[in-house]
């Protein structure tokens, strides 16, 4: 059965919004902006890679975009988050006058987002290793849509 985007994507968006709201409400704008940039910088490459795959572009066109996207995820979400962002939040955040529950919540959301990023990077490696990038795109339809289509 094909996988539909679900819980991991929903959690990613929920944690991202919560983290942005916390950073804004706690006036931690610089670290919030850094987190937002690191976690969204790859979005245009992801969109281009998905579009090329859905259009069933030749491998010589879509594979370089996929590799570029994977390298961008490696750089921003896998390497730069622990090198730049986590030291700011796990160490330096405790030096500003901030309530402990807010600091724990912000760090918790950030660590959960980092975990999801590592999970997604593992899936990118899996796509590359298994050759799924060479497969033809399939339309993934949720069970609700399938039931609706049967009734028509």
Interval 91-123: pLDDT, tens: 877 777 778 888 888 888 899 999 999 999 998
Alpha helix locations (H) across the chain?
7-25, 29-40, 43-54, 59-73, 86-90, 100-130, 143-151
- Residues in contact with 98: Cβ distance below 8 Å, sequence separation at least 6, in sequence order: 26, 28
Asked if 5 and 13 touch (Cβ cutoff 8 Å), the reply is no
Q: Phi then psi for 140, rounded to 5 degrees?
A: -95, 120
Structure tokens, 148: 């609706």
Convert the pLDDT of each residue in 10-50 to its tens digit. 888 888 888 888 888 888 888 888 888 988 899 999 889 88
């Amino acid at each position: 059965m094909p996988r539909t985007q679900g819980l991991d994507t929903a959690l990613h968006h929920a944690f991202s919004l919560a983290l942005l709201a916390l950073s804004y409400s706690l006036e931690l704008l610089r670290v919030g902006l850094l987190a937002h940039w690191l976690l969204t910088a790859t979005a245009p490459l992801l969109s281009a890679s998905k579009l090329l795959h859905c259009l069933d572009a030749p491998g010589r066109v879509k594979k370089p975009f996929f590799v570029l996207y994977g390298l961008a995820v490696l750089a921003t979400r896998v390497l730069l988050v622990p090198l730049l962002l986590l030291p700011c939040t796990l160490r330096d955040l405790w030096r500003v006058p901030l309530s402990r529950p807010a600091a724990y919540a912000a760090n918790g959301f950030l660590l959960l987002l980092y975990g999801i990023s590592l999970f997604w990077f593992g899936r990118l490696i899996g796509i590359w290793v298994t050759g799924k990038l060479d497969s033809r795109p399939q339309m993934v339809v949720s069970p609700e849509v399938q039931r609706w289509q049967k009734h028509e």
